[in-house]
Structure 1
């Protein structure tokens, strides 16, 4: 069961502008304007939610982080680091029209085979799947609300 993760209030705060007749969206982590897509709106709204509601500094976030797995180059939508600079959470963002399903979960798990982040999330703008992994025991725990203390790690 996904947790309710409404990003609409944050989407209203995003910085849009037109460049050569094309609408662009400011990426808070890369400090540049990008082509607008539903997935990008979800990612930027999620970044604002993490900053405003959970006190995560943008300096601990990286968008489109490249990884290499089995000779494949993939990009993690959003990687959050802990205070020591180690991966804390991998976030896969989907367009609002995309249902959160096993394929999305498999994608974030695939990324984690390289990164080994203790937290995984998939979000589509209205709901999210959130889980933590205990690497010592192999136990995965699903969460139904976002922990308020993750930014302290």
Structure 2
């Protein structure tokens, strides 16, 4: 009986250690720089798609896209998973003027993220395209992933 308890205890300890290791896996590799490198290009690609759907004056324009991401408040390190990231991206707003727009971003421990923009600047979730049809607005919310293993 004691041997069975020892095996059960050892197995439980191994499972707990594995769970703790997996829970922290990748989290330390989630940095502002890695998130910025994923959000900026994703925004740029989706901006082009949105302008194509709308046939706007910006159609065919690929903006320089950059993102600056911060986590939590001033006392929070800019690393790790969480729903408290904010990424500011460059927004080509017409007439050659570029202005910042803030996306609230949730980042999972595996490096996948969801970014939600303010509808007042990026438009509603559904927009009417140049074809008169309703389309999903790609800039309203978007997701992506980046490698946390490097």
TM-score of the pair, normalised by structure 2:
0.29
* Larger helix fraction of residues: 2
Bigger strand fraction: 1
Radius of gyration: which is bigger?
2
